[in-house]
Structure 1
Amino acid sequence: MIAEPFRDRKFRHELFPGSPALVALSEETIAVVLQHEAANALRRRKRRTADLEAFRNAVAVIVANLAHVIAFPGSDTGAVILPLGHPRGHRADHLPGFRESLKATVEALEAVGVLSIVWPDIPSHATALRPTEAFRREVHARDIGAPSDFLRRLVLDPVCLTRKDTFKRREELTVPAGVEADTIRAEVRVFNAWLARADIDYDGPDMIDTDDRLLRRRFNLPPRVEDPCLRYGGRLFGGFWQTMKRSLRGHIRIDGEPIAELDYGQILPRLAYASVGAEPPPGDLYDLDLPGPSDVQRCVLKKAFNTLLFSARRLRAWPLEIADALPDLGPDNPVSVARFRRALLRRHPALRPVLENGVGHALMHMESRVLCGVLRECTDKGIVVLPIHDAVLCPVSAVPAVKTIMETQALLVCGCSIPVEAKPLSGADLRPSSSVLSPMNTTGHPDLLSAA
């Protein structure tokens, strides 16, 4: 299996102190920084009122992010990415305190012992901030650790457009203005408003911020495309459930119910077949007749398959994470790109026109349209679903209705049938019961299952 490295946590510009305890910690931090500046004569002029408010906003947001890392430790490094001096990460230069003065503010917070700056040592990495042990003690001493300690202000555009450069760094671009972007923004805001009101809980062993539900739709501009547009990528990112370990998702409860995961089977290869007007063969599309050992893990084959769909040029060598995971045919002789390509085309000759043609971003856009259609219909029908790219989590009682919605949306958007598999995440029975078929569900909406 391809191991995912520990990553720094994404900085959340929407986080803000929300409880008296965290507000007090933020105000005290601001006072300490101002005293440090005065004692060391770091400023020649007094800040103007607008500049002081911008500084206070930046410190409050940074303090909230550091406290959030401490209150809700996850499987990351315990540091948050906050790029300084370049436009990597989220575009936030419109927010007070997050423009030219940000670097000085962060360095002052380091000087007073609130955080340490982890400067990047290679071009593909961004600056990260790590809370100090002294700051950790303050957070624990003030009993800061509940979702209610944090406010979430809607300060970022729900539509995001990015492009990766030659160093694989992601740069956020300006979203083109127009009706298309406004329509997408409005739809994502509807999703977020619906999720904010939903009855979503967690009863597992870890500390999870169940109020972290804000979604953004992220479009990815391929390297070969010059003009910014919203026709590539478009997956929904955000929400505490997306970054959770799969083993912990079974502890999520929606409307007090256990949940199930419904996902599309091999959606990108099936969309590739739809793009060339052909029918895929039966069986697992990732099952390829490769030379050498046959115990290749499916996730490796899937990643290699998708790499050929996303590459815009003919590959001569695999990325290291794939090369290290594919089977060896002998000493220093792993499965080459050429061998894999031949095996893939033996199974899928109809896909020759789309391999190594950069079609992957357009296919992912189609996938995102399908998932947004699923969320739109579920929201209209009063069903809470949590999106995970090509899958959703939903209450067990809603599985038949959501499965029908997913199959219907795939047919409407793509013009092809894509199988949907339902998997219980907490040992719950997915078979319909008399309670499932009652005339009214717990959300107060008319029964959807009998209608489906």
Structure 2
Amino acid sequence: MIYQDRSDRPGYLIDRAIPLLPRIKGGKAYQKHLLDAAYKLYDLIRNDPTVLLHIQDKTSVHREGATRGVLRPFLPSDLRHNINALVHLLHSFAHIASRVNDRLTQIAIPLARDAFVGPDRLPLQQQALSQMVYALAVFRGKGEWAVLYPARYNDETGIGLRTRLELQLPFLDWLLLERLVFVGHPTPKAPKRAVAGPILRIKSDDEGYEYIVPLNRDLLEIEAILPPLNAELAKQRISLVLPCYDLFARHFDHLGLQGRRSLYRQFRDEEGIAGRLYGHCIQTLPSAIRPFLQINGNPSIEADYRGMQLVLLYAEAGITPPKGDPYLLQDPRLPRLYGEVEEDQALGRSLMKAVLTMSVGNTNRQETVAALSGYLNAETSLSPRLAGVLYDIFWSAHQPVCPHGNWAEPAWKKLQYVDSMIALRVLRLLYDQGVYAIPIHDSFIVQSRHEGKLTSAMHQAWQERYPKAPIGIRVTRPFVDAK
């Protein structure tokens, strides 16, 4: 079998690798997953057509042509030693895969005889380790799993580099799904729990400095759900079971699930303004990974009110919202901004949502257009001068509920207060059924088995406040059957 020599690439440098870990560490559950994964991968390797094709084939490097070893048949008598070698390789691979910020990709593997003798010898059989290294190098599964970098010695510098295996994406995905890759590998620390503070708070600012003070009053009847709900939320076991390594790497800094497991209600400047629920560590997770939350070992779902801010404007005005997607507007000025393909429609919707968000956050058209100009400049390739056009397009379609001219203050102050009251009612309805939900403003996360109870409670809480105003509910589920 012939390998392309990649030793001149930066990936061959020593700072991308760690030595093969000589000892297996981690808890009993992890070590069981490790052993199970080794047997599973061993079966995949010894039955792989590409591996079988290269049995008794010499392993060499393209440029040098030097023999590196021979892939032997997989005999039953070698099983124990081969599994032991594979366990050590998987442990080392899982370790570098779990250390995303270190940008490690390779394991340096000693194959010379002197690594297997003496007091510091590896607890492995030399022939078995070589066998599994060469087998992984040719194993294909659903693509290339590992790249072999042969050992090298520089006569001029006297520096030698051991044989290396570099992880490829299919192998990383497999390690993750086998529960071998996780934050803090191999012995993760228990999540830090923030000390719970007052349940009612007021957030204010003074010359740009924000501060929070407790609101000292008795809980309202609708707020009385928070203490007993917090007691139940504190008992929940929260975990993330991601379906692919790319998600793990991109969102690595959010995976520790550190912080509070309880809620508080926070007003802005004074009581009656805003009042949304904050505090639970799940609320800071990116939306891309929230579908893969598990609560007490069970999958979760998230349900949210569709277009709640806009629908609230219509509901407060006593007007029925127009049918169809309120953000996908037909206007003769729009084709100059984006076309009609799906990606362009998504851009158009995001622009219209930005108009709404900035409109409810400002008191007039001038302030909103200025904020929207900054958004276009920072977040899109569109000209900031289009801000006024986008504003006029959106509010010409929703003119009856435009907050500018109809509201004395920015609309968000009341809208957030109303959605917080609805959220508190949803939490109460669910709690009384033994369901303990985690709110994220206008959405709620529960175990997937409680989906029906959640959507029913959301409809009931909305209709109690706005019996004549319809609203939709969207449910987000994992798009992959995560293991």
- Alignment TM-score, normalising by the size of structure 2: 0.51
Q: Is 2:452 the partner of 1:400?
A: yes
Corresponding letter in the other structure for 1:146 = A
CA offset digits 1:144-170 (Å, max 9, x no partner): 8222xx45433x211121135564x53
Deviations 1:322-370 (A, max 9, x none): 2324674xxx563133x23321232112113547851221011111111
Q: Does 1:276 align with 2:317?
A: yes
Residue 341 of structure 2 is aligned to residue 301 of structure 1: no
Match of 1:202 in 2: 240
What is the aligned partner in structure 1 of residue 434 from structure 2?
A: 382
Q: CA, structure 1 residues 74+386, in 2 after alignment: closer, same or farther (shift >3 Å)?
A: farther
Q: Cα offset for 1:184?
A: 6.3
Q: Matches of 2:203 and 2:189 in 1, distance apart?
A: 33
**Deviations 1:224-265 (CA, angstroms, capped at 9, x unpaired):** xxxx32x12111112222112223223321243211111110
User: CA-to-partner distance for each residue in 1:289-317, whole Å, 9 max, x for gaps?
Assistant: 46331233533421221211221244254
Residue 366, structure 1, aligned to residue 443, structure 2: no
| CA deviation after TM superposition for structure 1 residue 202, in Å | 3.2
* Displacement after TM superposition at 1:267 (Å): 0.1
2:291 is aligned with 1:250:
yes
Bigger Cα displacement from structure 2, 310-319 vs 339-348: 310-319
The answer as to whether partners of 2:265 and 2:278 remain within 8 angstroms in 1 is yes
What is the rounded CA distance, in whole Å, between the counterparts of 1:236 and 1:216 in structure 2? Answer: 6
Q: Is 1:239 equivalent to 2:280 in the alignment?
A: yes
Local SS of the residue matching 2:289: helix
Counterpart residue number, 1:145: 189
Flag the 1:256–1:311 CA change in 2: closer, same or farther, 3 A.
Answer: same
Report the AA paired with residue 216 of structure 1. Answer: Y
Structure 1 segments of 4 or more deviating over 6 A? 72-75
CA distance in 2, matches of 1:391, 1:401: 14
1:41-66 Cα shifts (integer Å, max 9, x gaps): xxxxxxxxxxxxxxxxxxxxxxxxxx
Kindly indicate whether the alpha-carbon contact (under 8 Å) linking 1:308 and 1:355 is maintained by their aligned counterparts in 2: no
Greater C-alpha radius of gyration = 2
- Segments of 5+ residues of structure 2 without an aligned counterpart are 1-97, 102-183, 243-247, 339-343
Q: How many residues of Structure 1 are paired with residues of Structure 2 in the alignment?
A: 277
Secondary structure of the 1:342 match is: helix
1:42-441 equivalent positions in 2, closer than 5 A: 145-147=189-191, 150=192, 152-154=194-196, 156-164=197-205, 167=208, 169-173=209-213, 175=215, 177-179=216-218, 181=219, 183=221, 186-204=224-242, 205=248, 206=252, 207-209=255-257, 212-221=260-269, 228-229=270-271, 231-289=272-330, 291=333, 292-294=336-338, 295=344, 296-316=347-367, 317-319=369-371, 321-324=374-377, 325=379, 328=382, 334-337=385-388, 339-352=389-402, 353-354=405-406, 357-415=409-467, 416-427=469-480
Aligned equivalents of 1:358 and 1:74: distance in 2? 43
Q: Which structure is higher in helix share?
A: 2
Structure 1 unaligned segments of length 5 or more: list them: 1-71, 76-139, 222-227, 430-452
Deviations 1:90-128 (A, max 9, x none): xxxxxxxxxxxxxxxxxxxxxxxxxxxxxxxxxxxxxxx
Q: Do 1:309 and 1:355's aligned partners in 2 also have CA atoms closer than 8 Å?
A: no
Distance (Å, rounded) in 2 between the aligned partners of 1:424 and 1:378: 19
1:183-217 Cα offsets, whole Å, 9 max, x none, are 56643222211211234333345542377412221
Other-structure match for 1:115: none
3-state DSSP of counterpart to 2:239 = strand
Change (3 A) 1:273 1:370: same
